[in-house]
Amino acid sequence: MGVNSNRVEDFSSHRINTESVMPGMEIHTVCLSPKKTTLQKLKQRLSEIFFPDDPLYRFKNQTWRKKLLLGLQFLFPIFQWAPEYRLKLLRSDIISGLTIASLAIPQGISYAKLANLPPIVGLYSSFVPPLIYAILGSSSHLGVGPVSIASLIMGSMLSETVSPRDEPIRYLKLAFTATFFAGLFQASLGLLRLGFVIDFLSKATLVGFMSGAAVIVSLQQLKGLLGISHFTSKMQFIPVMSSVFKHRDEASGIINDWEKWSWQTIVMGFSFLVFMLTTRHISMKRAKLFWVSAAAPLTSVILSTLLVFCLRSKTHNISFIGHLPKGLNPPSANMLYFSGPDLELAIKTGIVTGILALTEGISVGRTFAALKNYQVDGNKEMMAIGFMNMAGSCSSCFVTTGSFSRSAVNYNAGAQTAVSNIVMATAVLVTLLFLMPLFYYTPNVILGAIIISAVIGLIDYQAAYCLWKVDKLDFLACLCSFFGVLFISVPLGLGIAVGVSVFKILLHVTRPNSLIMGNIKGTQIYHSLSRYKEASRVPSFLILAIESPIYFANSTYLQERVLRWIREEDEWIKANDGSPLKCIILDMTAVTAIDTSGIDLLCELRKMLEKRSLKARLSPNESHLALVLTNPVGSVTEKLHQSKMLDSFGLNGIYLAVGEAVADISALWKSQPDFPEDCNETGQCRETKR
């Protein structure tokens, strides 16, 4: 084969080789990409990584006034929808805002308790952050506030080092500092457009993590449901269950009254828990009755508070919240740590809670945006959630994000814009200013029941079963996350699951799929022989497809795998008395990138096939083998060209499609006379008669 001088051409000479090899078949020239400097390539690559949506396209060819307006709308989405807001939308937003407020008030108190924080902090966190999100957020339906997962993580990570009971002020300062760093991390991801970082939390990881967290959170609430005053602060399955059964024997007389199970608490707690789970089941069966489950937490709080107030002389074993301070959020900027031994714990807690909060908030926002056919900007959401947490940390709030339960209620109540968050914050403000004394007799057991009813929906066994059916490695990551959270710790369980997911990625990168292809009779279509029964081998050709980039991490494996394909094909030919193997075609359609190790792989393969060609004259069992590439993408073709590797390929060494390669090479073979193979003095051989 001669030098490949006309098979690969520059884009500027974009032409087609119309040399016919069979009726209706044209052999097309493989073109290089347009020439670009290294700086241009780097700029394009960085643009694709960090700006895939081209956020500045609206500013092109606009006047400076229009650009100023577009800039305000880009930074503050409220300027985008506020000018078009109409009074007819206000009624829907008021109804939805008041509806989620009825859910936000008991949830805020409960989730603050879950994070081992004073209940009032939960209400503070339902006032300031929603107002900030209404200005900066791009979702019309996201309900903002504390969520169970972030509350659980913060409570478990901080309480492992600092006791909220023994050092409440220090614990509160750590919580606010962790919230600040969570917001700083979230806003930084948005500003630097590094949102792909949270993609390492795969769906399988989150399914297992949330299920494990839901189980451990529910078990922790047994303290309130059983009326146990002293309970373990650990978040593992064995310590929690040991603490539960340590205090089960009320009649033994060995333990103090405050360590016993309280039958009054048990009856009240499980009664209201059954009530909330029943309403949740009804709302899931009938979407129009969403308000039933939305109103259940507030209804439970009101009824249980009235019950304890009326029977307070007979229910002394039922603990209640007690005094809650009235008034607006007090400033807490002076409580933030920026130095000292606790700073590392605060930063670590903030990053972990920040990642989980972002994952939930963005996924929830995109879910409801898809239902209404509009788009949520992930980077804007990261900045909005980040800034509201940074502001919240300075106004006595802990980590907040988009809540699935609040967003679902908000959507079903008919919310039209982010005004529903403003209405909710206003309702919480009224509660903070005037209604706080009403929660004095609210029993703690009801807060535990609300938490259980909220987190039990996170146990998604159907998703786990689907993972088992579809992808066993994903299911393994799910199990590692689930049992890691239950038996080790929440952050380590999450870390193990992320490690399994990363291992899965490495496995796919280092051991990519390759397959042998055949022709579907009567067409120019080539597909997997194992997948399509109608596909058949092409005599004298071995057509292989590589379904991944070729990197240093997989080049050795691919070399061994291709040689094995050749050996297996030879064995098949001998067993079935087929035509001798003459050509190896590598379909490069799915090879999206290649590095120098990958180029070396192709060189090594070509050299090995040349050695086989030299042996062909000595052994009748060996045949001449040519290596042909088909359909390499632009970047791969460019690197092959720059490395001068294409010069070593003969004419007919690279093609645009497998069908063209088979047709052209077959025609070339037919046009050559049969003669014995001979080698010249340089060791180059020509094809001979077999």
Closest CA to 429 of 85, 104, 150: 104
Closest CA to 636 of 594, 588, 603, 590: 594
pLDDT value, residue 204:
83
Tokens of 431: 């509660």
Quote the CA–CA distance of 340 and 159 in Å, as a whole number.
Answer: 18
Strands, E assignment, 642-682? 654-655
Strand partners, 145: 401
| Chain segment 443-466, per-residue pLDDT in tens | 888 878 877 887 777 788 888 899
Domain edges within the chain: 80-169+181-192+202-248+256-470+480-505, 512-689
Strand partners, 626: 583
Highest mean pLDDT among 86-95, 247-256, 672-681: 86-95
pLDDT value, residue 42:
79
Q: What is the mean pLDDT of residues 460-488?
A: 87
pLDDT value, residue 294:
67
pLDDT exceeds cutoff 70 at 155? yes
Q: How confident is the model at residue 291 (pLDDT cuts 50, 70, 90)?
A: low
Q: Is 689 exposed, middle or buried (0-12, 13-18, 19+ CB in 10 A)?
A: exposed
Closest CA to 70 of 61, 81, 80, 78: 80
What are the φ and ψ backbone dihedral angles of 271, each rounded to 5 degrees? -65, -50
| Chain segment 502-532, per-residue pLDDT in tens | 888 888 888 889 999 999 988 888 999 988 8
pLDDT exceeds cutoff 80 at 230? no
Q: What class, spelled out in words, does domain 512-689 have in CATH?
A: alpha beta
Which residues fall within 8 angstroms of residue 564, CB to CB, at 6 or more apart?
none
Q: What is the mean pLDDT of residues 120-135?
A: 93
409, 143 contact by CB (below 8 A) = yes
pLDDT value, residue 652:
65
217, 455 contact by CB (below 8 A) = yes
Task: Among 316-320, 338-342, 412-416, name the one with the lowest average pLDDT.
Answer: 316-320
pLDDT value, residue 517:
92
Q: What is the mean pLDDT of residues 202-231?
A: 77
Q: How confident is the model at residue 186 (pLDDT cuts 50, 70, 90)?
A: very high
Report how far apart, in Å, the C-alpha atoms of 4 and of each of 8, 95, 668, 678 are: 7, 73, 15, 22
Tokens of 238: 């064995």
* DSSP code at position 643: T
DSSP-derived 3-state class of residue 226: helix
**Predicted TM-score (pTM) of this structure:** 0.70
Quote the CA–CA distance of 258 and 93 in Å, as a whole number.
Answer: 46
Report how far apart, in Å, the C-alpha atoms of 43 and of each of 283, 288, 474, 596, 636 are: 51, 51, 35, 22, 18
pLDDT value, residue 8:
57
| Chain segment 2-14, per-residue pLDDT in tens | 334 345 555 433 3
pLDDT value, residue 644:
83
Q: How confident is the model at residue 18 (pLDDT cuts 50, 70, 90)?
A: very low
pLDDT value, residue 688:
34
| Chain segment 621-655, per-residue pLDDT in tens | 445 568 899 999 888 888 888 888 877 776 568 88
Angle of CA points 487, 488, 493, to nearest 5°:
105
268, 448 contact by CB (below 8 A) = no
pLDDT value, residue 290:
64
DSSP-derived 3-state class of residue 514: strand
Quote the CA–CA distance of 142 and 317 in Å, as a whole number.
Answer: 40
Q: What is the mean pLDDT of residues 309-330?
A: 79
Q: How many other CB atoms are found less than 10 A from the CB of residue 307?
A: 17
Report how far apart, in Å, the C-alpha atoms of 316 and of each of 113, 231, 264 are: 21, 19, 9
Question: Rg of the chain over CA atoms, in angstroms?
Answer: 33
| Chain segment 534-559, per-residue pLDDT in tens | 889 999 899 999 999 999 999 999 99
Q: How confident is the model at residue 15 (pLDDT cuts 50, 70, 90)?
A: very low
Using H for helix, E for strand and C for coil, what is the string for 441-506?
CCEHHHHHHHHHHHHHHHCCHHHHHHHHHHCHHHHHHHHHHHHHHHHCCHHHHHHHHHHHHHHHHH
Question: Where do we find the tokens 């700073």?
Answer: 343
| Chain segment 352-366, per-residue pLDDT in tens | 999 888 888 887 887
Question: Where do we find the tokens 């241009």?
Answer: 40
* DSSP code at position 254: S
| Chain segment 420-430, per-residue pLDDT in tens | 999 999 999 99
Closest CA to 407 of 290, 521, 280, 308: 290
Chain-centroid distance, C-alpha 573: 46
pLDDT exceeds cutoff 70 at 381? yes
| Amino acid letter, 362 | I
pLDDT value, residue 618:
47
Strand partners, 532: none
Closest CA to 484 of 474, 472, 495, 473: 495
